[in-house]
Amino acid sequence: MQFNYNIGTKVIFGTDCIRRYGQDLSVYGKKALIVTGGRSARESGALDDICNMLSSHNIVFEIYDRVGNNPSLDNVEEGGKKARQCNADFIIGIGGGSPLDASKAIAVLASNEIEPKELYANKFKYDPLPVIAVPTTAGTGSEVTPYSILTRNDLQTKMSFGNDATFPKIAFLDARYTESMPREVTVNTAVDALSHAVEGYLCRKSTPVSDIFAVEAVKSFGECLSSLIDNRINLDIREKLLYAAMLGGMVISHTGTTVVHGMGYNLTYFLGIPHGKANGLLMKEYLNFIYDRAGEKINILFKLLKIRNVDEFGDLMDLLLSGRPKLGREEIEKFVLITMQQRSTLNNIREVGKSDIEGILKKTFAVL
Ligand code: NAP
Ligand code: ZN
């Protein structure tokens, strides 16, 4: 048995956690830059809670609220300039995975005068500014991962960077901030959390410790399934989803993701399919692809989801996720080539080549 374990993030979980534990932020300095998307930080109530808490501890702040979905290198470059201009001591990211990932990149760019592309060298002369993460979706687990996944328009895909220094210092998880999510965003992000647990459990880099988190995440997701399907999503369910998402993040912090994520980035980049939904659509055929190598482990997960086989897993995803695009042959060829550039092609328990990716895409989507 050989493994390393490190979660560089202090997790503070529970209703009203920002008010109760906000004083912990004083050690990071006197000036914060708050990084958000356009609306959800305000709508969720998280921004108000953070601003009130900062004011009560005499920490001044400015807000950068221009993070788009699937943020680009240009987006984080702008945010990095803003952090430098305002002399921020630390960054507070509020939102879904997009603002949280952007915060990590902005924190590196604030302390290192480098081109955004140089983020991918994963070595920084100066430590990034400390990042505090407040998720308003329950999916990516970005609040406890070192990863920042940014859109690379030059490569027509999304790519992640991150090292031990880019773990958020503190994650405040309050499920009330996820209540404003519409059903579709709730479901898509929940399926992302599931895919992190499933992929992390069934990949080359899984460890005995990450497996514990993965099983617990799938169990918690499973307890929410009927509520997600029937759209009866109360605060208890939201808390379980946030817990599952956090655990999923802890899993992939150690294991990384698989070619499911690698393929999914094409669906997001070229077709605008939300990240979690993209993974959810692809997972059934991926499970079929690896079933011979990991049947026993897959069956453990199925039991937690109260299903019997891969087909029933597919039915479940169909119940949760609406709409599936058709793909052209040339589109599939392009997606295969781009996917092969992703590191995640090396993290699968069955070796993955071009024809395997093509096979999974053709079985998942009707071909035009
Ligand atoms: P997102 O892109 O952050 O947000 C999607 C949409 O949901 C946005 O329009 C956002 O609005 C809205 N939204 C967020 N919270 C809301 C709330 N409480 N109420 C109402 N609307 C809300 O979605 P996400 O799925 O959480 O993040 C996806 C990104 O995370 C992708 O870029 C993906 O690659 C990345 N990711 C990162 C990791 C990691 O480990 N770092 C893991 C998986 C995925 P606003 O724009 O107004 O905020
Ligand atoms: Zn993901």
**pLDDT category of residue 322 using cuts at 50, 70 and 90:** confident
* Surface-to-core class of residue 20, CB atoms within 10 Å of its CB (0-12 exposed, 13-18 middle, 19+ buried): middle
**Contact 265 CB / ligand 1 (< 6 Å):** no
> Closest residue (by CA) to atom 43 of ligand 1?
140
Tell whether ligand 1 has an atom less than 6 A from the beta carbon of residue 68.
Answer: no
pLDDT tens digits, residue range 165-202?
999 999 999 999 999 999 999 999 999 999 999 999 99
- The response to whether residue 151 sits with its C-beta less than 6 Å from ligand 1 reads no
The residue to mutate among 103, 275, 279, 321, having the most atoms of ligand 1 within 8 angstroms of its beta carbon, is 275
Tokens linked to 349: 């328990």
Q: Relative to the alpha carbon of 260, which ligand is closest?
A: 2
Structural contact between residues 92 and 136, judged by C-beta atoms closer than 8 angstroms: no
202, 207, 214: which is closest to 304 by C-alpha? 214
Nearest bound ligand to the CA of residue 199: 2
pLDDT digit string, tens, across residues 233-266: 999 999 999 999 999 999 999 999 999 999 999 9
pLDDT at 365: 96
Centroid of ligand 2 to alpha carbon of 260 (angstroms): 9
What proportion of the chain, given as a percentage, has pLDDT over 90? 96
- The atom of ligand 1 lying closest to the CA of 43 is 19
Is the pTM higher than 0.85? The answer reads yes
Is the separation of the CB atoms in 75 and 68 below 8 Å? yes
- Write out pLDDT tens, residues 280-296: 999 999 999 999 999 99
Confidence band, pLDDT 50/70/90 cuts, at residue 279:
very high
Mean pLDDT of 105-123: 97
181 lines ligand 1 (CB under 6 A): yes
- Cα of 146 vs centre of ligand 2, distance in Å, is 13
* Distances from the Cα of 129 to the Cα of 24, 62, 103, 108, 322, angstroms: 16, 15, 10, 7, 40
* Beta strands per DSSP E along the chain: 10-13, 31-36, 60-64, 90-95, 131-135, 148-152, 157-161, 170-173
User: 195 CB less than 6 Å from ligand 1?
Assistant: no
Cα–ligand 1 centroid distance for 68 (angstroms): 9
* Nearest alpha carbon to residue 7 among 213, 194, 149: 213
State yes or no: pLDDT of 44 exceeds 90: yes
80 lines ligand 1 (CB under 6 A): no
Domains along the chain?
Answer: 10-177 (3.40.50.1970), 183-367 (1.20.1090.10)
Q: What is the mean pLDDT of residues 94-102?
A: 98
For ligand 1, atom 47, name the residue with the nearest CA.
39
> Does residue 248 have its Cβ closer than 6 Å to ligand 1?
no
The full DSSP string for 86-128 is: TT-SEEEEEESHHHHHHHHHHHHHHHS---GGGGGG---SSPP
Q: Rounded to an integer, what distance in angstroms lies between the CA atom of residue 359 and that of residue 60?
A: 54
Span 72-84, mean pLDDT? 98
Q: Mean pLDDT across the stretch 320-341?
A: 95
pLDDT of 1: 83
